[in-house]
């Protein structure tokens, strides 16, 4: 019976490619499902049967630990060099997006609180 091994929703393409290579390199047979045209299906990597499930899980867990360690090391190096992106740099890089998000948040806050603010009228 097929079993889902790895959820691909919101996974960077380079990580998905590396997981595919990892499974192929260890001769683990798998197939993929995609999110579909509207993105409502569940994208993932599936095993045809569960005979290699434990091995595949161990390989992916080891890969993800290594990837996390590498990402932390890279971030720390950038932070020490003063090259990591700050909140203000991100805001200045995309000012229109930031303004729209703040306006949307204020609108949602207004709609949520307006019944309580006008209860005496």
pLDDT band at 119 (very low <50, low <70, confident <90, very high): low
Residue 33 Rama label (left phi>0; alpha psi -120 to 50; beta): beta
Residue 120 pLDDT more than 70? no
Does residue 121 carry a pLDDT above 70? no
Q: 3-84 maps to which CATH number?
A: 3.30.70
62-90 CB burial, b ≥16 within 10 A, e <16 = eeeeeeeeeeeeeeeeeeeeeeeeeeeee
Across the range 6-24, mean pLDDT stands at 96
Q: Note whether 46 and 32 are within 8 A (CB).
A: yes
Under 8 Å between Cβ of 6 and 58: no
Domain ranges of the chain: 3-84, 85-121
């Amino acid at each position: 019976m097929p079993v889902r091994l790895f959820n691909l929703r919101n996974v960077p393409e380079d990580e998905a490619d590396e997981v595919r290579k990892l499974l192929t390199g260890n001769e683990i047979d798998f197939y993929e499902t995609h999110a579909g045209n509207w993105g409502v299906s569940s994208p993932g990597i599936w095993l045809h049967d569960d005979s290699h499930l434990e091995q595949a899980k161990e390989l992916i867990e080891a890969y993800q630990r290594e990837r996390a360690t590498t990402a932390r090391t890279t971030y720390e190096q950038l932070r020490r060099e003063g090259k990591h992106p700050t909140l203000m740099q991100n805001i200045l890089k995309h000012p229109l997006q930031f303004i729209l998000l703040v306006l949307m948040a204020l609108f949602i806050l207004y709609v949520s609180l307006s019944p309580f603010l006008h209860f005496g009228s």
